[in-house]
Chain A
Amino acid sequence: MPDGKDNETSVFRTEEMHILEIWDLGDREVAPVRGFPIIGRATTRPSSIASVALRVEPDEPPTRHAAIRGWPVHVDPTAKKTAAKAIAMRLAALSEAERR
C-alpha cells in the first residue's frame, strides 16, 4: 500500500544482492526510519508492477532506493483506499513474501 503522506510505496532495488545483504539493507535503511524491526519482505519485478498499472522509479538517496508511483488518486478517501487495496492485492499475488 502507498504511504498516506506522498501516495508512494518505498522500495529498494535488490537485483544481484545476496539475501543477507537484503536483510542488512532493510536493517540499515528502513528499520531506523520506521522505528520498527524488519519482520519480513516481499520481492517483485518491475514487469509485475507495470502489469497493475503502477510504475517504479529511482528515488535516491539512499542508494538503490526507488518508489512505486501511480497509485489511485481520489477525492473520497475510502474510495481511494479500496482502489489501492485492490491493486495491492494483485501486486501481492505477483510477488514473493518471506518472513524473517
Chain B
Amino acid sequence: MMLACPAVAPAAPDGTVSYAIYDEGAGVWDPMDSAIDPGRSVSVGDVNRRVVFTRFVAAAAAAQHDNWDALGSARVQPGSFIYARRFLNALSSSIPMPSVAVETDGEICFDWHLGPRRTVAVSVGRDGTLGFASLIGDESLHGISQYRDGVPTAIAALLERLDA
C-alpha cells in the first residue's frame, strides 16, 4: 500500500524573515512585534524558539490568502496567528522546539516528532482553541484545550513526557 505525500505546505525560506501580515478584518498586524521578550537572557531554548518563530512567520505569510496551496485551503486567521505566537512563547525552553505548518483549515500546527511513538501535535484555532493529539509509547491521546495564560496542563504534561 502506498500513500503518496505531495509537498503541500509552504516552504519556509532560509535566514531571517520579517513579514507584516495583513487581514481585511483586522487591519495591519506585525507578527514580529514583541515576539520574544528582549529583557530576558538568551538560552539555547530561546535561540531555537527564534528559529521556529521565523519559520512560523514564513509559513503564515505564505498562507495569508485563501487557496494559498492551490488546493482550496483556508487562509490563516489573525486570531490563529496571535494565539500561536503566545503558545510558542509560553513553551518551556527545556522542551524541544516543534516544527510548524499551516493546515488546510487555516489553523497553525506545531508538531513534535521525536520518533514514530514519540509524537505530539497541537493545532491552534482562531479563538485560542488548542486541538492536540499524541502517540507516546503505546498510548494514544487526543483532546481539546483552550489557551489562556500559558500552555494548558494537559498539553504541558504530554510535552514533558515526550522529552523524558
Interface positions of A (Cβ within 8 A of B): 4, 9-15, 22, 25-26, 30-31, 34-46, 49, 56, 66, 77-79, 81-83, 85-87, 89-90, 92-93, 95
Contact = CB atoms under 8 A, between A and B. Distances in A.
A66 B2 CA distance: 10
Interface residues of B, number: 30
Given A12-B1, A26-B2, A42-B2, A36 B7 contact: yes
B123 interface: yes
Contacts of B141: 86
B6 A90 contact: no
13 contacts: A4-B104, A12-B2, A22-B2, A25-B2, A34-B71, A35-B70, A36-B8, A43-B3, A78-B129, A82-B132, A85-B121, A85-B142, A89-B133
Contacts of B103: 81
Nearest to A38: B4
Contact of B1 (A13, A39, A81): A13
Nearest to B143: A82
